Structures are given as C-alpha cells and as structure tokens.
Amino acid sequence: MQEGRIIKATGRWYTVESSDGQRYRCAVKGKFRLEGKRTSSPVVVGDLVEFESYGDDGTGLITGVKERKNYIIRRASNLSHESQIIAANIDQAMLICSLVKPRTLIGFIDRFLVAAESFRIPVILVFNKTDLYGPKEQEKLTELTRIYRDIGYEVLHTSVPEKKNLELFQQYLKDRTTLLSGNSGVGKSSLINAVEPSLHLKTGTVSETHKTGRHTTTYSEMFPLSFGGYIIDTPGIRGFGLIEIEKNEIYHFFPEIFKYSKDCEFYNCTHTHEPGCAVREAVTEGKIAVSRYNSYLDLFYDEEKKYR
C-alpha cells in the first residue's frame, strides 16, 4: 500500500503523485466508489489517498481517501448527482471575475464566498480584464472593491495585456496551494500563463452571441509553481448551488450579517421579516450592502436557478 496525492482528474482515471515524486495512472476501487456521499466523483484533485500500484506500467488502484482538512463543494448541475466537490486540502481560493465579456454575476460571487466561508477557506477576489472596462464598469469596480474589502476580503484588479498587478497576483500564489475558479472566459488560464509561462495552458475566446466563455480547461489539475506553491486549475463553472449548509445557518457565512445578527431582538431571527431585526436596520442605514443582503435572501429562499 502506498500514499500519494491526486494531481489530475480525468473522468474515471486519476493521476496520483507519490511521496517520492512518481506518478501513477489510477482507477478507483469499485466498492469504494459506491460508499459515502453521492458526488460526481469519489476523489478529487488535492485528495491524499491510499493506492496500490501494479507491475511496471505505472498503473494502480485507489483504495481509500484520507480525511480532508477542507474542500469546496457545490450542487452538481447534473441531476443524477447530488453534489460536486471541486477540490480538497487547499490553503486558499482565488475567484477570478470579470465585469465584461463575460460579466460575473454578484450572486455567483457571493455563493462562492459562502461555500468557502463554511470551511474557513480564505478567498482572494480577482477582477480581471480591467483594460476592457469603460467608465460604467470602472464605477462598478470601485463600488464592489469597497464592499468586499470592508467585509474583510482581499480584492485584486488585474489585466494581462497591461501586466497590471501580475507580480502581486504571483505573490498571493507563492508557497500556497491555491484553487483557481471562475466562469469560463474570465481569463483564468491567461493569468496563470502570465506568471508561469512554462505551463502553456490553453486559452479561449468569448462568444459574441451569448457573451459567455468557452471551456478551455476540461478537467481539474494541480500544477507546481516554479516560485513555490501549487495551483489547482479547474474547468469554468456557470453556477454555484450551495449544499451541506442548513437554511438557518446561511447568515453565519456572511461576515457582516453575522456581525449585526447578534443585536437582533429574537435569537432565532431569520433576518427576512422579523421586528427588531438589526440586520435589516443595518441594510437600511447602509452598513450592509444591499447587493449582499439580496444574495442572502436569494440563498435563504433557494433561488438557485437564477445562477445556473
């Protein structure tokens, strides 16, 4: 029996890197595949696993997964599966966003942040393609930057053509295991190539008809960085439905809402309609952004279809 880490997931096959740097092409033991939660994959990139290798052809069989310190999970769009774990055992996540071609929805951002907060995973918000922003987008960028920085999130503005903040982007990645996620077309692969050109990740274009990105990354993979650390590159995602969070606990993962909830008149306040709600009062007074409160309401009433 050997131990290793999943560094690539392609359908039913996984690349496992052992502690001595050897790589094996492994399948998952049949019985193991059927145990536990209903997910789109029993193991994911970042997982620490036990496996058996066979012969000298570099193949093997994954027989177990060690306990995860954390993971990012979302409701799977494929209705045959309950959930999709995107990556495991990460130090931080970077959500790459754009206000143009394609435009990242605020609801999508907040759903991702809630999922990360539920496992105390730090998130850096990266607003990319700023060279394409006109006056309207620049104004929106200023507003969103203020909102999220006031909450406590790191916010970075980047542009690959203008080489804007690429050194700072690299500093955030250095010596950490980072999940990079975002909608297709926001420039994730271009950003990675800019700080680690040797990876030669495939980049794509944005559909002019639908203003959405085309998938260039088709599977998740972990890459070592020459300056220290690892990145987990994942396929672009359109929606982010939450799972494993109880309805009455959602507000816990909005830091600013949780802060004011302690002053609500009722201990079981849902922050939707009750009298004496300190959260709603804070929204009215501008202490909580309306966009964030609306995201909370959407999650509370489970209007996930909006962001599919």
What pLDDT tens digit does each residue of the chain (308 aa) get? 899 999 998 878 999 999 888 999 999 887 665 555 556 677 899 999 999 988 778 899 999 999 999 998 887 554 444 677 889 999 999 999 999 989 999 999 999 999 999 999 999 999 999 999 999 999 999 999 999 999 999 999 999 999 999 999 999 999 999 999 999 899 999 999 999 999 887 765 443 443 444 444 458 899 999 999 999 998 877 666 777 788 899 999 999 999 999 999 999 999 999 999 999 999 999 999 999 999 999 999 874 444 44
Query: In the chain, how many H helices and how many E strands?
Result: 8, 13
Name the residue with tokens 């990360």.
Answer: 116
Structural domains of the chain ordered from first start: 2-65 (2.40.50.140), 71-233 (3.40.50.300), 247-307 (1.10.40.50)
Report pLDDT for 32.
62
- Using DSSP, state whether 96 is helix, strand or coil: strand
Query: Is the model's pTM score more than 0.95?
Result: no
Name the residue with tokens 């990876």.
Answer: 199
What's at 14, amino acid-wise?
Y
